[in-house]
Amino acid sequence: MGLAPEGGDTGGGLTAYIVHHLTHNTKQFSFGAVHMDSWVVALSLGLLASFWLWWYARKATAGVPSKGQAFVELVVEFVDSEVKNTFHGDRRFIAPLALTIFVWVVFMNAMDLLPLDIPSAAVQAIAGEDVAHHTYFRWVPTADINTTFAMSFTVLLLIIFYSIKAKGGWGFTKELFTAPFHAEGTFAKIVLALPNLFLNVVEYLSKPVSLGMRLFGNMYAGELVFMLIAGLFVSWFTFLPGIVFQSMWAIFHILIILLQAYIFMVLTVVYLAMAHEHH
């Protein structure tokens, strides 16, 4: 959620304001650049989400639950029912995984509802306007393609693990070269081996790409819309419409936040179910 683009944080108007807020706080390491803001916020929110679930699990009672406990139980039952309807194998790992994904992604997406000028305003209040102008901090981790692809790549590793677990190492390898085009005869199998391998590789890679790009695209677009609406605050004539549009988009964005977390969770479970059950 944006505020008025003003002061040293913008310098060149709305365009500079957007460019500034789309720039990551990057640190260079020997293996490459790391977006420290996305990493720190994602880690902090992951720990916060884990603590939130642990806290209410520890305080759970058999009697009348508190409002907080009732809400957590509602979330857990909702996720568990979704997993039960999709994954028909052993759910002892899948259900907690789905719950972790859903809660964590909701927490990360919800950062988009906070005013994105808070980090710059805090730095400006402490260190001055010049320092704030050169300080970058994006606190919506899911609006960073590195975060969403890291999560989806982990899902890919789980898909491969469950495929090997269900079919065995030889069965998994054999399926790569013999499906989806099944053939009779040695020559036909040899001819179709490479096309089968190509299609299977494309299928496996398309899953993390679709997961990562969908979540990133929606959250990046939502963040950008907040910045564009923030441009209305530069004038008293457009200030009131800006508040109205900002509020309307924030309310609508709550649906996007929850829906994208749900989609990421459900597709992860669906992909793992396909890997576990397909032979």
Enter the DSSP assignment of 65.
P
Task: Give how far Cα 174 sits from Cα of 21, 182, 198, 255, Å.
Answer: 49, 11, 13, 43
Q: What are the catalytic residues?
A: 210, 214, 218
Per-residue model confidence (pLDDT) at position 132: 61
pLDDT means per 10 residues in the chain (279 residues)? Answer: 49 76 88 91 95 88 82 94 90 93 96 83 72 78 95 95 90 88 80 91 94 95 89 81 88 94 96 79
Angle, in degrees to the nearest 10, between helices 14-21 and 186-230: 130
Neighbours of 259 (CB within 10 A): 12
Per-residue model confidence (pLDDT) at position 129: 67
> At 29, phi and psi to the nearest 5?
-120, 175
Per-residue model confidence (pLDDT) at position 7: 43
pTM for the whole structure: 0.87
6-37 pLDDT tens trace: 443 444 577 888 888 888 889 988 888 899 99
Rounded to 5°, angle at Cα 22 from 49 and 3:
80
Per-residue model confidence (pLDDT) at position 10: 40
Residue reference for tokens 């790009």: 213
According to DSSP H, which parts of the chain are helical? 14-21, 36-58, 67-86, 94-110, 118-127, 129-133, 145-178, 186-230, 236-277
